Structure 1
Amino acid sequence: MTDQQTVAPPAPPEQPGAGSPRRSRGDGSHARNFSAGFLAKLVLIGLVDALGVYGILAAAAVQSWGIVAFLVLALLVANWVYFSRRAIPGKYLVPGLLFLLVYQLFVMAYTGYVAFTNYGDGHNSTKADAIEAIAIQTEARVEGSPTLPVTVVQRGDELGFAVVQDGEVQVGTAEQPFAEVDGATADGDRAETVPGWEVLGFAGIAAEQEAITALRVPFSDDPSEGSVRTQDGSTGYVYQPTLTYDVATDTLTDTATGETYTPSATGNFVSEDGDRLTPGWRVGVGLDNFTRVFTDERLTGPFLKIAAWTFAFAALSVATTFALGLFLAIVFNDPRVRGRKLYRSLMILPYAFPGFLSALVWKGMLNEKFGYVNEVLLGGASIGWLSDPWLAKVSILLVNLWLGFPYMFLICTGALQSIPEDTIEAAKIDGAGPWRIFRSMTLPLLMISVAPLLISSFAFNFNNFTLIYMLTGGGPNFVGSPVVVGHTDILISMVYAVAFESGAKQYGLASALSILIFVVVGVISYLGFRRTRTLEEI
């Protein structure tokens, strides 16, 4: 019997599955890619954490605990999301959500808060800061107090005084009271050298004379203990406030006259005779900022005129730009027009330039005395395009037409090209004329896609601050108005004028106006979008 050699069949290739782990490539590229990606993520998160910790420390230094809490929570969420394998969608959503919270929701909430306060010039800070500021402003030289030999010192851009007290050299600045400095030397009763500070000579004092005479160095953190000031950079005098604050009664008393000032609901210390001390502090005023524009006769008239012009400007801007843009889109959509691509490129040139630059160019061209329009096109005429109230409004509409029609031209061209040709051909076969086709078919089909853009264009022009500010600055101004506003101002430029350009800054009133604008635009947009739903039935 002959032995037979048994040959085993070849084993099937191993299939990856639950019981057989997937093998990585032998060259280690997966590990290298994983390591590189992890290191990159580690570096980026480290930078974010470093910036976050810096922000936390800076906010804690000024006791802004709300910002501290937000930054701590944001850092915890960011680290958890980017180091967790379960939060893949969060890695894409967290950055956008954080920016939304900071730049949108927080701004809206803070604007709403300011609208119900008297925040503005004279009411910028807290009551404690107001008391300190009043004490500083009412300081007077103490009669019979000894003069102090003063040495002016400087460290970078910071100025300070060095004096000798009880045989020790002390240095102080506007922010830091006098404190002893180790290693400083004195020549008699005058400081000579101060480590870390440069002692200014006559030339240095002369160069910084205005800042030195305005410098006030307190003796301590208590304003009632007074401060040192100098008029010549050599001799200092002791100043103390003439108004003293009594914590128990919450009043300020004039030490010279005995007059007492008590806090009022408007955020100021007021005497019995009605004399008011400034600055005050921020307090809630309820709906006063919202009702003021309707109760103050000097403000109500300009406000109503500006509101009416704002609606007219937004509506006419949309109507004129859409009409011109649609007309040009229909013309250059006709295949019989030669060179359509070139013409279309030329039509969008005004849209390619920054709007504020175009407005400045038009401002120069419409100048009454040396503008191109009056001097060249009209042969030296003297027409006040920007100084006459009605001509200024017409000029704004014409310039906005120049700036806005290319956008309408682009969207109308795209909408026209999306209308099926067989629909138009069927209408022609049925005997419909060009006007009938446009009115009954082209325009309704066009409005399905264009109507939402017209609503957004209305909202944009309702807040078109750049054009107004750059072209006319809101002028010509109204006479007798408590704020610097004019005939061509719209509501948003009126907000800017109230907040920044009317002498005393009134952030509370400006915030209230901003909320009114938001409500108006929101209501109009809501009604407009509801109206456009009927077009979907087409």
Structure 2
Amino acid sequence: MTEQQLAPHPPEAASSDDGDGTSPSRRTRPLGPDSHARRFSPGWVAKLILVGLVDALGLYGIVAAAGVESWWIVVFLVAALAAVNWAYFSRRAIPAKYLVPGLLFLLVYQLFVMAYTGYIAFTNYGDGHNSTKSDAISAIETQNQVRVEGSPSFPVSVVSRGDELGLAVVQDGQAEVGTADEPLAPADGATVSGTKVTAIPGWQVLAFADIAGRAQDVTDLAVPVSEDSADGTLRTQNGSTAYVFTPVMQYDEKTDTFTNTKTGETYTASDHGNFVSAKGERLEPGWRVTVGWENFTKMFTDSRLSGIFVKVTLWTFAFAFLSVATTFFLGLFLALVFNDPRVRGRKIYRSLLILPYAFPGFLAALVWSGMLNSKFGFINQVILGGANIDWLGDPWLAKFSVLAVNLWLGFPYMFLICTGALQSIPGDVMESARVDGAGPFRAFRSITLPLLMVSVAPLLISSFAFNFNNFTLIYLLTGGGPDFVGAPIPVGSTDILISMVYSVAFGTGSNDYGLASAVSILIFIVVGLISWLGFRRTRTLEEL
């Protein structure tokens, strides 16, 4: 035997090659679940930063809500932060990573809004009834004050301590300072120049520019003269001179009444959130209270609103139905025409017909509003040769104009969906109809239209719901006008229910949010009911 044959072979474990050309010392080992490289990957760090930002924002919201004692907001934010951190740092909550953001936005922007609207609908919330009863009492006492006859004027300095305002005056050679919560008291160490305080330790004397920047706060500031409220308060209108005022209205907590010290008239708290006298006179402001179903019945029982509400409701249904009908039939007609292979240049015509749909709707409404102007509009001046037709000022012409503009904006959408539905109908079905002797009209009525409605009916229902709440067109084209003469709210002939809600909530002097919320709920119920009935009819078409 040779020397090479007698030499011992090295063990396989010591081999420098594992058969794939790589040595064991250079082979990359798989990362375990607890690997630091995986734990601190760029994606994990990015997730940590984003969740940290969400936590910081949530903690800020918790502190702010706790400061105003909104404890239900605190509870929601705590639960939301717990859900976010559990979802994004737990390995068992992979589906929750996708569901939690959507659920939170659903709760905040949908469910909360619906619940809060429902709550407001049962209250008298609006201008004059915005806050609590204690705030209303304080406001009545502050607003109903008169200057004490013969009282001297005081050169005054407006001072501040942080966000708190105060007034400083000189009485009998002594500097005194007070705030809305603390009556006038000696100011030790104050500097007096002539009859005016120029400096007080711990206080900042405001310059004229600072006073002008907080003019409303300075005007509303009432500093008690002494511990006895009967002595009145010190107030200033210009920040330089102050006078003593006494309240005309005095509140008695035991009897829960206000008494006018000049006339002796007594005002008693009512169930509708106001202090009312025996003559029916009310003190403003009031406070927010629950009024039950009053907002829901007011539109039907109040003689000033019931007629207007009925007119607006009928027009809303007519507008939504006619808008869907006109746009659908025009779109269907054009789809049938340009679906015929004998028409040349179909692609060009289809592109041109889509242009009104591609143009932003709110801009189109503004353009049409200018074109329909009775004096300077393009329709009257150019097309009609200088005619003077009041398209937007006459009630019936305004309604016609709204429907015509909506037809211009809406038919391209119906043209698109009808074109797609027609092209999806099998050709052999139409061929069988022609073989059986069906004419074009019979084939359309018995085959094309039923098959088309199966696909288009849900879209017609959604279009009805959209037009039922088509606030943008009404607001930008006519503003709801022309207005009804003598109406207690600014509502006009072309207003639909949703624009009427806007007028009730923001277009009147009272801004009745409770009534607007109640009408919004009625709109929701009507649209939901019609949609439900429509989808039931759609299932019938599918079975057919």
* TM-score normalised to structure 1 length: 0.88
Tell me, yes or no, if the aligned pair for 2:178 and 2:224 is still in contact at 8 Å: no
Tell me, yes or no, if the aligned pair for 1:393 and 1:488 is still in contact at 8 Å: yes
Cα shift at 1:47 = 0.9
DSSP 3-state at the match of 1:270: strand
DSSP 3-state at the match of 1:361: helix
Q: Which residue is equivalent to 2:306?
A: 300
* Distance (Å, rounded) in 2 between the aligned partners of 1:223 and 1:494: 50
- The AA in structure 2 aligned to 1:410 is L
* Distance (Å, rounded) in 1 between the aligned partners of 2:407 and 2:292: 41
The 1:224–1:489 alpha-carbon spacing in structure 2 relative to 1, beyond 3 Å, is farther
Asked if residue 475 in structure 1 is aligned to residue 481 in structure 2, the reply is yes
* Distance (Å, rounded) in 1 between the aligned partners of 2:525 and 2:274: 32
* Distance (Å, rounded) in 1 between the aligned partners of 2:366 and 2:185: 55
Cα shift at 1:180 = 9.2
Q: Which residue is equivalent to 2:52?
A: 46
Cα shift at 1:141 = 1.8
* Distance (Å, rounded) in 1 between the aligned partners of 2:402 and 2:368: 10
Cα shift at 1:272 = 2.5
Cα shift at 1:309 = 0.7
Q: Which residue is equivalent to 2:444?
A: 438
- The AA in structure 1 aligned to 2:411 is F
Tell me, yes or no, if the aligned pair for 1:176 and 1:217 is still in contact at 8 Å: no
For residues 339-378 of structure 1, what are the structure 2 equivalents within 5 Å?
339-378=345-384
Q: Which residue is equivalent to 2:522?
A: 516
Cα shift at 1:148 = 2.6
The 1:25–1:271 alpha-carbon spacing in structure 2 relative to 1, beyond 3 Å, is closer
Tell me, yes or no, if the aligned pair for 1:161 and 1:171 is still in contact at 8 Å: yes
* Distance (Å, rounded) in 2 between the aligned partners of 1:482 and 1:223: 45
Cα shift at 1:85 = 1.3
Tell me, yes or no, if the aligned pair for 1:136 and 1:223 is still in contact at 8 Å: no
For residues 102-135 of structure 1, the C-alpha deviation after alignment (integer angstroms, 9 at most, x for no partner) is: 1111111111111111111211111111101100
DSSP 3-state at the match of 2:283: coil
Tell me, yes or no, if the aligned pair for 1:169 and 1:185 is still in contact at 8 Å: no
For residues 284-319 of structure 1, the C-alpha deviation after alignment (integer angstroms, 9 at most, x for no partner) is: 111111111111122111111111111111000000
* Distance (Å, rounded) in 1 between the aligned partners of 2:449 and 2:50: 52
The 1:3–1:209 alpha-carbon spacing in structure 2 relative to 1, beyond 3 Å, is closer
Q: Which residue is equivalent to 1:266?
A: 272
Cα shift at 1:514 = 0.8
* Distance (Å, rounded) in 1 between the aligned partners of 2:291 and 2:168: 45
After superposition, the CA RMSD in angstroms is 3.4
* Distance (Å, rounded) in 2 between the aligned partners of 1:260 and 1:365: 59
The 1:167–1:365 alpha-carbon spacing in structure 2 relative to 1, beyond 3 Å, is same
Q: Which residue is equivalent to 1:17?
A: none
5+ unaligned residues in a row in structure 2: which ranges?
21-27
DSSP 3-state at the match of 1:525: helix
For residues 174-213 of structure 1, what are the structure 2 equivalents within 5 Å?
185-193=191-199, 197=204, 199-200=206-207
Cα shift at 1:250 = 1.6
* Distance (Å, rounded) in 2 between the aligned partners of 1:66 and 1:362: 47
* TM-score normalised to structure 2 length: 0.88
The 1:489–1:425 alpha-carbon spacing in structure 2 relative to 1, beyond 3 Å, is same
Asked if residue 397 in structure 1 is aligned to residue 403 in structure 2, the reply is yes
Percent of aligned pairs sharing the same letter: 68
For residues 481-496 of structure 1, what are the structure 2 equivalents within 5 Å?
481-496=487-502
Cα shift at 1:43 = 1.0
Cα shift at 1:526 = 0.4
Q: How many residues matched?
A: 527
Tell me, yes or no, if the aligned pair for 1:213 and 1:230 is still in contact at 8 Å: yes
Tell me, yes or no, if the aligned pair for 1:135 and 1:223 is still in contact at 8 Å: no
Q: Which residue is equivalent to 2:108?
A: 102
Asked if residue 148 in structure 1 is aligned to residue 157 in structure 2, the reply is no
DSSP 3-state at the match of 1:106: helix
Cα shift at 1:199 = 4.0
Q: Which residue is equivalent to 2:323?
A: 317
The 1:235–1:276 alpha-carbon spacing in structure 2 relative to 1, beyond 3 Å, is same
Tell me, yes or no, if the aligned pair for 2:128 and 2:284 is still in contact at 8 Å: yes
Asked if residue 461 in structure 1 is aligned to residue 467 in structure 2, the reply is yes
